[in-house]
Amino acid sequence: MSNAFPKFSKINPETIENEIKTIISENLTKLDDLLKNNSNYTWANLMAPIDDMSDKLSHVWAPFSHIHSVMSSDKVREAYNKCIEILTEYHTEFMQNEELYKAIKFIADSKDFESLTDAQKKIIENDLRDFHLSGVDLNKKDKETFASLQQELSKLTTKFSENILDATKAWHLHIEDENLLDGLPEQSIELAKEIAKQKNLKGFIFTLHHSSFADVMKYLKNRELRKDMYEAFVTRASNDGPNKGKWDNTKIMEDILKLRHQTAELLGFKNYAEYSLKTKMAKTPDKVMDFLNELADKSKEYGKAEIKELAEFAKKTDGIDDLNAWDLGYYSEKLRQAKYDIDQEKLREYFPCKKVLRGMFEVLNKIYGINIKEKTDVDVWHPQVQFYEIFDKDNSLRGYLYMDLFARDDKREGAWMDECQVRRTLDDGSVQLPVAFLTCNFARPVAGKDALLTHDDVVTLFHESGHCLHHILTKVDYMSVSGINGVPWDAVEFPSQFLEFWCYEKEALNILSSHISDDKPLPQDLLEKIRNAKNFQSGYQMLRQIEFALFDFKMHLEYDPSKEYQVQSKLDEVRDKVSPFKPPAFNKFQHSFSHIFAGGYAAGYYSYKWAEVLSSDAFSKFEEKGVFDFATGQEFLHNILEKGGVYSPMELYVAFRGREPKIDALLKHSGIN
């Protein structure tokens, strides 16, 4: 079995461009040879060598691309941008190669096609579809136009992401008077003090990294400072706020939409939403819109009532007559404590990071029978990174996991999973095992102590681990349908959201939690409070997600090339329809909406809610059988996690659940009737 890990300490941004160029040149020469010296194409003499070529490139690019996300620098960024241009050109050229398309179609039309495995057939079907979506049918001039559009899009999406990182790093809140910190938790104050010391400043520094920002918004009593922090956060990379126009994504967003629309039209689609749905479960825009509108209709009254309750609470508590966006987090936390007597910061004391990790591994063992063991003699990119081996119940090694949990200035915000290496069978018959990256941005440990996680952090960790297991536990041995590859985008979030449910179960929390003073697990009364508070403001939160999803989908569905500056007007239109609370005019959340402007969720953000229907309904089977029912865990493992992208998600879901999913479980788990 192959397990050669990247040498992160040897990665050199000054040589990566030449490495990528060399591999691409070799790949194109090999492809030319494959197509010239053949007339009877088969899996063995065409598809298998192409898989080798893709894997060879991935082994160099995946680690460097990851470094760009987690250890960015000027040199890394410069090299990444050069390579992205080269790679975009290569992939476009590859997917517009008519000879290659005809060769793969030859296999699809041959009598040998039926003798191929399901995975091999699926790869060929996907490839033929993707050739059309990449413009193989276009004339020479239109192919050149398509290639130009892809190049420009890759530059703009990268720039969008870099602007957010630069804007996030450029601003901080500096407080010298400790009396102004009233309400903040001790861990937050200690971290702010440490950051100030690192910058050779007196007092305390609060940054726009989410862990720091969230604590200020939830706990800081000083309303004016909350407003300052809020304004800086929601105007990042925009034409408003304290760094107005400095890393402005306004035109970049408009240009991205324009280029996507042109791409879709060039390929014969009315809009980018239609183009996007060609690779998803939901096949028509109407299906997506009906789904989102139904959820909005069921949630709207709940959301309105929750905001009304919050406004009344703020007035009663502090005489606030004008509830503002920078008050929502603060009074929501106060109201949560008042209603459920639950203090999120006290909860941290039950979730030391090391205990949570050990506990999560035990929970995963109980569900899937896997064992996760740390390995320390591995080259990593930062001292905080941990590395694990993953074994199944038969003690067979299934794959590996890099885990990078804490926030840094040179690290992209958010939490995500990415591929380092994909499972596949090699030429010698051995199996290359999958390797995943798990990245979060939790508040880092201070003063040599273990980091304390919020319960929300624990949920995030489980979510990203669900993605990683989907990648690692696959038993598919072909790269492009192995793990999460080939899985329709609106089903990708299913295994990750599914795993979140264990963060609210007594049996799991007994394993995950341990108080820092006496090692006792979360007591029953706090556990009940967490469960009771789980659906606190769930109507409002549901509507927030629907707002993002509708904004994304309608923006791509209804784009009008004759109009300028459609992003803000489309967002305003959606907010008028579904939002129970209007943010201030200076709120430019869209300028840092990486999921759709720099990630893979364009015209696909609805996937989070779509997959929640699957995950809620799937977990209801565990509620029926028992949350640690091993047989049900094995059914999920064998029917969902191991199958990769070979079969349709609905087919796999029915195999696991015995029927198609119902929306009822999602509404029930969200406390919406």
Q: How far is the C-alpha of 112 from the C-alpha of 133, rounded, in Å?
A: 26
Backbone angles phi, psi at 175, to 5 degrees: -120, 125
Q: How far is the C-alpha of 326 from the C-alpha of 581, rounded, in Å?
A: 12
Q: What is the pLDDT of residue 234?
A: 98
CB neighbour list of residue 458: distance below 8 Å, 6 or more residues apart = 351, 356, 503, 512
Nearest C-alpha neighbor of 234 from the set 549, 583, 537, 554: 583
Q: How far is the C-alpha of 164 from the C-alpha of 413, rounded, in Å?
A: 9
Backbone angles phi, psi at 441, to 5 degrees: -135, 55
Backbone angles phi, psi at 420, to 5 degrees: -105, -45
Nearest C-alpha neighbor of 54 from the set 32, 37, 83, 30: 30
Beta bridge mates, 373: 389
CB neighbour list of residue 82: distance below 8 Å, 6 or more residues apart = 17
Bridge pairing between strands 424-425 and 397-406: unpaired
Q: How far is the C-alpha of 521 from the C-alpha of 516, rounded, in Å?
A: 10
Could you give all domains of the chain from N- to C-terminal order, each with its CATH number? 8-95+97-133 (1.20.1050.40), 171-234 (no CATH), 250-341+537-605 (1.10.1370.10)
Tally of CB atoms within 10 A around 314: 22
645 in helix, strand or coil? coil
Bridge pairing between strands 431-432 and 424-425: antiparallel
CB neighbour list of residue 254: distance below 8 Å, 6 or more residues apart = 564, 565, 566, 567
Query: Which DSSP letter does residue 420 get?
Result: E
Residue 455 token pair: 């319960």
Quick check: 543 and 582 in contact, CB under 8 A?
Answer: no
Burial class (CB in 10 A: 0-12, 13-18, 19+), 87: middle
Q: How far is the C-alpha of 469 from the C-alpha of 488, rounded, in Å?
A: 17
Backbone angles phi, psi at 565, to 5 degrees: 50, 65
What is the CA angle 459-461-466, rounded to 5? 95
DSSP 193-249: HHHHHHTT-SSEEEESSHHHHHHHHHH---HHHHHHHHHHHHTTTSSSSTTTTTT--
Angle at which helices 48-70 and 16-36 cross, to 10°: 160
CB neighbour list of residue 397: distance below 8 Å, 6 or more residues apart = 1, 3, 389, 390, 391, 433
Residue 590 token pair: 């869209």
Nearest C-alpha neighbor of 41 from the set 95, 94, 119, 120: 120
Q: Give a three-class secondary structure readout of 349-372.
A: CCCEHHHHHHHHHHHHHHHHCCEE
Between the alpha carbon of residue 30 and those of residues 40, 62, 103, 236, 661, the distances in Å are: 17, 22, 15, 46, 46
Q: How far is the C-alpha of 347 from the C-alpha of 210, rounded, in Å?
A: 19
Instruction: Give residue-wise pLDDT tens across range 252-302.
Output: 999 999 999 999 999 999 999 999 999 999 989 999 999 999 999 999 999
Nearest C-alpha neighbor of 401 from the set 439, 442, 436, 355: 436
Residue 596 token pair: 């759709």
Residue 353 token pair: 């990071």
What is the CA angle 92-94-100, rounded to 5? 140
Residue 36 token pair: 């010239």
Residues across the chain: 673
- Enzyme catalytic residues: 464
Q: How far is the C-alpha of 260 from the C-alpha of 184, rounded, in Å?
A: 44
Instruction: Give residue-wise pLDDT tens across range 390-428.
Output: 999 999 999 999 999 999 999 999 999 999 999 999 999
Which stretches of the chain score pLDDT less than 50?
A: 1-2
pTM across the whole model: 0.94
Instruction: Give residue-wise pLDDT tens across range 563-614.
Output: 988 999 999 999 999 999 999 999 999 999 999 999 999 999 999 999 999 9
- Cα torsion 257, 258, 264, 265: sign: positive
Q: How far is the C-alpha of 497 from the C-alpha of 462, rounded, in Å?
A: 8
Q: In what order do the strands lie in the sheet with 435-442?
A: 371-374, 386-391, 397-406, 435-442, 416-421
Tally of CB atoms within 10 A around 611: 23
Q: How far is the C-alpha of 348 from the C-alpha of 183, rounded, in Å?
A: 16
Q: What is the pLDDT of residue 661?
A: 94
62 in helix, strand or coil? helix
Helix or strand (DSSP H, E) at 389: strand 386-391
